[in-house]
């Protein structure tokens, strides 16, 4: 199974809402990632979890809160978002390299619209 699944596919939320994005993989990968992708742009790294511990936070605003409950699951909790946060949110996973990265496997993404 080389699939990364993400739910929901689409999400519309108001600026005062709290919602969560979910990501799951069963490939035994111990590194998991959240990316944000705006239209016609490359993915921008937000967070990296390595062995269920947060290893990279790319100075993401605190209204985005990641969580890795176990080695297969990754959540992104959203609160008080701004309209400019509307984007495609991609989850990815990979084996954890020691000095160089392994290839990342991406999910289909969650299309988020903040109204």
Residue 16 Cβ vs another protein, minimum distance, rounded to whole Å: 28
Total number of residues that touch another protein (CB under 8 A): 29
Strand arrangement, sheet containing 73-79: 4-7, 18-25, 73-79, 64-70
- Stretch binding another protein (CB under 8 A), from 13-21, 36-44, 59-67, 71-79: 36-44
Measured from the CB atom, is 80 or 88 closer to another protein? Answer: 88
Please check whether residue 46 is in contact with residue 39, taking contact to mean a CB–CB distance below 8 angstroms.
Answer: no
Cis peptide bond prior to 8, omega within 30° of 0: yes
41 binds another protein (CB under 8 A): yes
**Interface pick for another protein out of 27, 45, 73, 80 (rule CB under 8 A):** 45
105 binds another protein (CB under 8 A): yes
73-97 b/e (C-beta count within 10 Å ≥ 16 → b): ebbbebeebeeebbbbbbbbbbebe
Residues that bind another protein in the complex, under the rule CB under 8 A: 4, 6, 31, 33, 40-43, 45, 48, 50, 55-56, 90, 92, 96-101, 103-109, 111
């Amino acid at each position: 199974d080389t699939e990364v699944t993400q739910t929901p596919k689409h999400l519309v939320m108001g600026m005062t809402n709290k919602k969560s994005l979910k990501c799951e993989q069963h490939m035994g990968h111990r590194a998991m990632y959240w990316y944000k992708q705006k239209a016609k742009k490359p993915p921008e790294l937000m967070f990296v979890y390595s062995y269920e511990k947060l290893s990279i936070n790319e100075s993401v605003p605190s209204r985005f809160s990641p969580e890795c409950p176990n080695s297969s699951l990754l959540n992104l909790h959203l609160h008080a978002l701004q309209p400019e946060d509307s984007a495609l949110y991609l989850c990815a996973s990979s084996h954890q390299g020691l000095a160089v990265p392994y290839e990342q496997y991406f999910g289909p993404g969650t299309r988020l619209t903040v109204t």
